[in-house]
Amino acid sequence: MKKALVCGAGGFIGSHLVKRLKAEGFWVRGVDLKYPRFSPTQADDFIVGDLRDLAVCHEAVDTRFDEVYQLAADMGGAGYIFTGENDASVMHNSAQINLNILEACRRRNSFRIFYSSSACIYPEYRQLEAENAGLAESDAYPAAPDSEYGWEKLFSERLYAAYARNHGFEVRVARYHNIFGPEGAWNDGKEKAPAAICRKVAQAGNPGEIEIWGDGEQTRSFLYIDECLEGTIRFMRSDWAGPVNIGSEEMVSINRLAAIAAEIAGKTITPRHIPGPLGVRGRNSNNKLIFEKLAWRPSQPLKSGIAKTYAWIDQQVQKTQRPKDAPKPAIRQPEIVAAE
Ligand code: NAD
Ligand code: GDD
């Protein structure tokens, strides 16, 4: 039976990836600071541990794995990475994880390793306008990411490439473009625009109003989790190292994203534009290279992914939202068991 290691298996993409690898018949070990938040892990073995600690990395890679997926990172949406408040920890934590895990893999000859880089590595000067024809992989240099998160990703891309060059690693580097779907962060300050907008629409009345950071004319493309996993697995099993974009080419403004969510919810929603962390003005994926190399590219419309994500977030909101006039639930006292 083939063995896979998923670092960051308690996170959004990692927990979905574990399910996918299990469905393919792998024996899977997950590692993370925490178990997945929304459903039990399907990993055969799960180490709750800190990958900044080299000893934990050696424990995680105590045998040879056929495939290693390195998804662990200190990351979040615009509200987390563009405020500047988390810059030092984002850079330190994620770089430390990558430095450690590569050494641990080297010791056990686990050479095929996937690294999740980001669209955030692309230079700001190519993303100054809302109109963006798509960022090609070759656009990465001269480097000028707009966040420290992006700089760390770029450093780590180079670190993985160096291990491939000097130590015979079979590295696969993908640049994810804003991945979304059920069981992702939606209310903890790390949520990205798709989850945040779905949550705001779900919490709004009908008719209602939602807050949007900026003028809402900034653009992004969003990729649904299933297609992200499909691209990741196909790429990992290919004989090509990348880096490659794994993202959608369906670019929309954040106002349009809100309109799609409102339509799915069946609500009349008015956006209220407020100041907030914005990031780049316009970003889109260019999928020419992935199609050329893998004869595959994402194809699902944004709306179908948002419909599934909205349904899940609406459920979470219902679970946490008690109508103001609803009777308070009775507090259950612990049962007193009479001593014999
Ligand atoms: P996530 O935050 O849900 O998952 C990352 C996981 O890493 C978390 O569960 C976290 O607990 C774990 N982690 C962090 N520090 C750790 C440590 N010291 N030791 C062990 N585990 C640790 O994020 P995600 O959306 O699942 O993203 C997965 C990867 O893909 C990340 O590397 C991220 O930077 C990259 N990426 C994601 C997106 C996206 O839109 N989701 C876009 C570009 C790149
Ligand atoms: N998160 C969030 N919440 N964003 C909002 C909101 C809101 O309520 N309202 C408007 N936005 C705007 C942000 O200001 C930003 O301009 C845009 O929506 C997209 O925000 P995010 O989805 O949070 O982040 P991003 O696309 O700038 O960056 C994300 O994607 C990268 C990969 O493409 C981040 O998750 C990065 O970590 C990731 O690497």
CATH assignment of the domain containing 96: 3.40.50.720
Is residue 24 included in any domain, yes or no?
yes
Q: Locate the ligand 1 atom nearest the alpha carbon of residue 119 and give its number.
A: 43
Is residue 318 included in any domain, yes or no?
no
Q: What is the pLDDT of residue 130?
A: 98
**Sign of the dihedral defined by the CA atoms of residues 288, 294, 296, 297, in that order:** negative
Q: What is the pLDDT of residue 160?
A: 98
What percent of the chain has a predicted confidence (pLDDT) above 90? 93
User: Nearest CA to 176 among 127, 137, 119, 114?
Assistant: 119
- Ligand 1 pocket, residue 72 CB under 6 Å: yes
Query: In the structure, how many helices (H) and strands (E) does the chain have?
Result: 10, 13
Q: In DSSP terms, which residues pair with 30 in a beta bridge?
A: 6, 46
> What is the pTM for the complete model shown?
0.95
Q: Domain containing 40: what range?
A: 3-180+223-249+284-300
- Residue 324 banded pLDDT, cuts 50, 70, 90: low
Average pLDDT over residues 83-97: 96
Q: What is the pLDDT of residue 321?
A: 77
Is residue 260 included in any domain, yes or no?
no
- Which member of 80, 149, 163, 224 is catalytic? 149
Q: What is the pLDDT of residue 336?
A: 41
For ligand 1, atom 28: residue with the closest CA: 71
Q: Which amino acid is at 12?
A: F
Q: What is the pLDDT of residue 200?
A: 98
- Ligand 2 pocket, residue 277 CB under 6 Å: yes
Contacts of 158 (CB under 8 A, 6+ apart): none
Whether the pLDDT of residue 338 is over 90: the answer is no
- Ligand 1 pocket, residue 242 CB under 6 Å: no
**Rounded mean pLDDT of the chain?**
94
pLDDT tens per residue, range 40-87: 999 999 999 999 999 999 999 999 999 999 999 999 999 999 999 999
Q: How many domains are contained in the chain?
A: 1
Whether the pLDDT of residue 113 is over 70: the answer is yes
- Ligand 2 pocket, residue 79 CB under 6 Å: yes
Q: Is 115 a catalytic residue?
A: no
Is residue 307 included in any domain, yes or no?
no
Is residue 272 included in any domain, yes or no?
no
